[in-house]
Amino acid sequence: MGLIQSRWVEAFEELGHSTNPTGFVESYAGAVNVTNAIDASKGERSHAGTAFLDSALNRGNVTLRTGVNVDKIAFDELLTADGKLNANGIHYTYNGEDHLISGREIILCAGAFESPAILERSGIGSKEVLAAANIPILYELPGVGENLQDHLNCGLSFETRDDIATRDDVL
């Protein structure tokens, strides 16, 4: 459970409301965390793993490493002639040891909190933020980490009469 979801559940508990970690009960009122992505073709819950990762891992050109802490992105020397940085690897820590993994393509997908933090530790971001942290500025990009729009939603569920068509009837 992520930080925001944890705080959401804690807030409900502090107010004296019940909580349920999965929400998989017949009747429930209170705070609950559920997956809210649906694969429309199957009518099933989905997420990045089922939508993309499983098939990518089967291709043989993707490596999944879990339990690592990413320090920063590794880049080719400096800016290219057209003013771009070329990423060539990732510096990370695993079981207390530092590692560098290199590749032709680097995909940064560490979430709303960690992606900007990794960019900033890598020297990409606001010059004021980087200078305050004594991080050499490789590419000034104001706004990194400044526009968080993570949010919670509040869903309502209810029962319908048997004569009312629902999505379940279509599936």
Give residue 152's pLDDT: 66
| C-alpha separations of 110 from 9, 13, 52, 66, 138 in Å | 23, 29, 15, 12, 20
Residues facing residue 19 across a β-bridge: 31
| CA dihedral angle for residue 4, residue 8, residue 10, residue 12, rounded to 10 degrees | 180
Each residue of 95-130: pLDDT tens digit? 999 999 998 888 888 888 899 999 999 999 999 999
Identify which of 78, 76, 73, 77 has the alpha carbon closest to the alpha carbon of residue 89: 73
CB-based contacts of 30, cutoff 8 Å, min separation 6: 12, 17, 18, 19, 20
pTM: 0.62
CB 76 within 8 A of CB 70: no
